[in-house]
């Protein structure tokens, strides 16, 4: 089994981020409108399972509707049951031997071809996200750009980590080296909020390091992820190396996690499901498995932005608004706590409130929309429940009105509540919606204390022009991604490797230098090359151990 054209390592140009579309240009807007019309004309899109290189239909289907207009059926996906799940695992297992022995150059080549194909159709992919995930234009475009970045970045990372690395110190007559090897079959369980970038990132990392993959997309967004499966097919992924398995989490997701032939589980989603996966993986362990399941999870956040007394409020307010309400707060990095220093509290809160009041709520396909709907009924109910809680137990600063939009889609109002304790549920629990808890801090130390008072540690931000406060934040603000004087969402591959710790997840940062190693085991080999006093002259290591 061999796929087309490996890449020549020396010919791969240095990594460069995929630029976002410039929608201030007329041609770009026109092109995007055409893509929206084009994808709309293809509805309903049918997404089958892809198992062992074959498309498989199932009797049960999962409808995918637009959150902006629930009467719009974007398409349907097949829904894998336990039998199909087992077949997919078996196919992945069968393909593993060949794939794991395929040179890294060929595996990297697959990713680079997929990136090129995706780049060619970036507007079409983004347009589908606009409908299926209710991502506003820029958000959808950014998601596609990030997916391309992951493919390009991990291809290069895999090349960097491939081969045998001679270990130092060099000892005469003794040859020591270290190399990385895949784990086996990886189950990748994706979220709906970045329906392309995150599944692409997780699965391409597993693939390029030699694992075979079963990708289960989120039930809400199977179609966007299916487009990625189509791209991999087109790029020539060998049968069984990549399997696409839409289905219900409780059925095929649960089966994948417990399956004895699945070595690695890579998940991005809620804390509840993430912890459940940990437990399930551990439970499956008792059946006498010959390995410990590797679990990589990226979970939620309760992210805070501190606005210091010396902040530029003109900049802090729009940054806070975008971080909190961009994509209706449905990013794990989204701002949900705004911590304002006492002396700017009133001014800043007033401006933040007025800016929130000015947000235009609407369907994602309208380029004037600033606040799109949330993903589904359940999400809307959760947001409304927390708004109810806020009304009862906190001071309501603002709750918007979605009017008749609520009848059309999963629209929820933007909301701001003032809470006087960092222990308040609104300041502790992840809502995943456009709801912000505002807290007052006496001074900067107090602000940091409040910021650090949740069990999460994902993103955080400080708006301040006091150098020593920024320095303190670097040292003491507990979060995986700290953003100073900017928005706290929108991490870019390689520039801002992304991921948190504590209850925000376990695992290395996506889009960073450590990510691929999670999908591999390291093997060290030591060979005695001395035979009766004859040893090779100390070759100068062709490959030295670089800084990893």
Partner 1 sequence: MPSVLTQTKENFESGRRSPVREERLEALTQRIGRALFRRLRSTAPSFWRLEKVEDSFMKLMMRDEDLRFRMLQFVDVFPALGGTRSVSRHLEEYLSSEEMGSGAGHGPLGRIARHFGRDLPGVRNITAATAQLAITRMGNHFIAGHTPEEVAVRIRSMEARGFHFTLDLLGEFVASEAQADEFARRYREMIEKFEDLLGPLPDALADQPHLQAPPRVNLSIKLSSLTSKFDPMDPEGTSAAVRERLRPLVRAAREHGAFINVDMEKYEFRETTLRIMLDLLDEEEFRGFPHFGTVAQAYLWDAEESLRWLLGELAARKQPMTIRLVKGAYWDSEQIWARQKDWPVPVITDKRLTDAMFERCTRILMEAAPLVRTAIASHNVRSVARALALRKMLSHPPEAFEVQMLYGMAGPIKDAVLRSGVPVRIYTPCGELLPGMSYLVRRILENTSNESFLRQRFSEGAAEEKLLASPHEPGPEDFEI
Stretch that binds partner 1, among 7-15, 250-258, 306-314, 417-425 (CB under 8 A): 306-314
> Least distance in Å: CB of 353 to partner 1?
8
Sole binder of partner 1 in the list 351, 410, 424, 509 (CB under 8 A): 351
Active-site position among 252, 332, 348, 479: 332
> Least distance in Å: CB of 137 to partner 1?
6
Q: Does 293 bind partner 1 (CB under 8 A)?
A: no
State which residue, 140 or 237, has the beta carbon closest to partner 1.
140
Q: Is residue 479 flagged as an active site residue?
A: no
State which residue, 243 or 369, has the beta carbon closest to partner 1.
369
Which tokens belong to 507? Answer: 């695992």
Q: Does 323 bind partner 1 (CB under 8 A)?
A: no
Query: Which helix (H) or strand (E) element contains residue 170?
Result: none
Cα dihedral value 55, 57, 62, 68, nearest 10:
50
Check if the beta carbon of residue 266 is closer than 8 Å to that of residue 213: no
Q: Is residue 46 flagged as an active site residue?
A: no
Burial of 85 (0-12, 13-18, 19+ CB in 10 A): buried
Stretch that binds partner 1, among 179-187, 357-365, 425-433, 524-532 (CB under 8 A): 357-365
End-to-end distance of the chain based on CA atoms, in angstroms?
31
State which residue, 140 or 208, has the beta carbon closest to partner 1.
140
State which residue, 18 or 132, has the beta carbon closest to partner 1.
18
Length of the chain in residues, anyone? 548
Check if the beta carbon of residue 178 is closer than 8 Å to that of residue 167: yes
> HSE (CB half, 13 Å, CA atoms) of 531?
1
Sole binder of partner 1 in the list 34, 279, 442, 465 (CB under 8 A): 465
Residue bearing tokens 């600033």: 370
Q: Does 360 bind partner 1 (CB under 8 A)?
A: yes
Which tokens belong to 464? Answer: 């301040």
Which tokens belong to 269? Answer: 């989603």
Find out whether the peptide bond into 103 is cis, omega within 30 degrees of 0.
no
For residues 107 to 146, the per-residue mask of contacts with partner 1, x marking binding by CB under 8 A and - elsewhere, is: ------------------------------xx--------
**Sheet holding 49-51: strands in order across?**
54-56, 49-51, 242-244, 212-216, 185-189, 264-268, 294-298, 505-506
Active-site position among 18, 129, 219, 298: 298
Strand residue runs (E) in 310-448: 335-341, 395-399, 415-418, 435-441
Check if the beta carbon of residue 400 is closer than 8 Å to that of residue 325: no
Q: Does 475 bind partner 1 (CB under 8 A)?
A: no
Q: Does 471 bind partner 1 (CB under 8 A)?
A: yes
> Least distance in Å: CB of 408 to partner 1?
19
For residues 48 to 67, the per-residue mask of contacts with partner 1, x marking binding by CB under 8 A and - elsewhere, is: --------------------
Q: Does 442 bind partner 1 (CB under 8 A)?
A: no
**Sheet holding 61-66: strands in order across?**
45-47, 69-78, 61-66
State which residue, 359 or 520, has the beta carbon closest to partner 1.
359
Q: Does 537 bind partner 1 (CB under 8 A)?
A: no
Q: Does 357 bind partner 1 (CB under 8 A)?
A: yes
Residue ranges binding partner 1 (CB under 8 A): 16-17, 19-20, 22-24, 26, 29, 137-138, 309-315, 317-318, 321, 343, 351, 354-355, 357-358, 360, 366-368, 370, 465-468, 470-471
Question: Any idea which residues carry the catalytic annotation?
Answer: 298, 332
């Amino acid at each position: 089994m061999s796929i087309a054209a490996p890449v020549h390592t020396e010919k791969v140009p240095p990594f460069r981020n995929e630029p976002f579309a410039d929608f201030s240009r007329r041609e770009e807007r026109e092109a995007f409108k055409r893509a929206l019309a084009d994808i709309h004309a293809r509805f309903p899109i049918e997404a089958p399972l892809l198992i062992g290189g074959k498309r498989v239909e199932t009797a049960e289907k999962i409808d995918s509707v637009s959150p902006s207009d629930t009467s719009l059926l974007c398409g349907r996906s097949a829904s894998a049951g336990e039998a199909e799940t087992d077949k997919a695992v078996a196919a992945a297992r069968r393909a593993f031997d060949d794939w794991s022995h395929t040179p890294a150059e060929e595996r990297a080549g697959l990713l680079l071809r997929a990136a090129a194909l995706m780049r060619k159709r970036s507007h079409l992919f983004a347009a589908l996200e606009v409908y299926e995930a209710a991502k506003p234009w820029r958000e959808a475009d950014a998601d596609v750009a990030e997916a391309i970045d992951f493919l390009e970045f991990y291809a290069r990372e895999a090349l960097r980590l491939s081969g045998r690395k001679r270990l130092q110190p060099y000892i005469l007559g003794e040859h020591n080296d270290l190399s990385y090897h895949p784990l086996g079959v990886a189950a990748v369980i994706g979220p709906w909020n970045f329906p392309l970038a995150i599944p692409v990132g997780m699965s391409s990392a597993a693939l390029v390091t030699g694992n075979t993959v079963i990708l289960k997309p989120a039930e809400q967004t199977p179609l966007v992820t299916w487009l990625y499966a189509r791209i991999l097919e087109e790029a020539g992924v060998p049968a069984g190396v990549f399997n696409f398995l839409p289905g219900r989490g409780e059925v095929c997701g649960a089966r994948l996690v417990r399956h004895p032939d699945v070595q690695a589980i890579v998940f991005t989603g809620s804390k509840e499901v993430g912890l459940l996966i940990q437990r399930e993986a551990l439970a499956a362990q008792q059946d006498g498995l010959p390995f410990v399941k590797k679990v990589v999870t990226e979970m939620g956040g309760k992210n805070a932005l501190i606005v210091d007394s010396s902040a530029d409020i003109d900049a802090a307010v729009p940054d806070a608004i975008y971080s909190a309400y961009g994509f209706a707060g449905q990013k794990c990095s989204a701002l949900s706590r705004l911590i304002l220093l006492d002396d700017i509290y009133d001014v800043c809160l007033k401006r933040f409130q007025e800016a929130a009041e000015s947000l235009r709520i609407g369907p994602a396909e309208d380029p004037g929309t600033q606040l799109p709907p949330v993903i589904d009924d359940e999400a809307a109910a959760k947001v409304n429940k927390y708004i109810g809680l806020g009304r009862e137990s906190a001071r309501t600063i603002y709750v918007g009105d979605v009017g008749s939009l609520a009848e059309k889609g999963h629209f929820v109002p933007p909301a701001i509540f003032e809470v006087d304790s960092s222990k308040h549920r609104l300041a502790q629990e992840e809502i995943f919606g456009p709801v912000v808890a505002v807290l007052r801090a006496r001074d900067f130390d107090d602000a940091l204390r409040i910021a650090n008072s949740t069990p999460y540690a994902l993103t955080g931000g400080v708006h301040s022009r006091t150098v020593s406060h920024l320095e303190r934040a670097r040292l003491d603000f507990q979060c995986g991604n700290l953003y100073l004087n900017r928005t706290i969402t929108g991490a870019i591959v390689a520039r801002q490797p992304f991921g948190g710790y504590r209850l925000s997840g376990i695992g290395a940062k996506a889009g960073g230098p450590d990510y691929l190693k999670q999908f591999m085991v390291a093997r060290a080999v030591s060979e005695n090359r001395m035979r009766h006093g004859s040893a090779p002259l100390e070759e100068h290591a062709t490959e030295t151990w670089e800084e990893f």
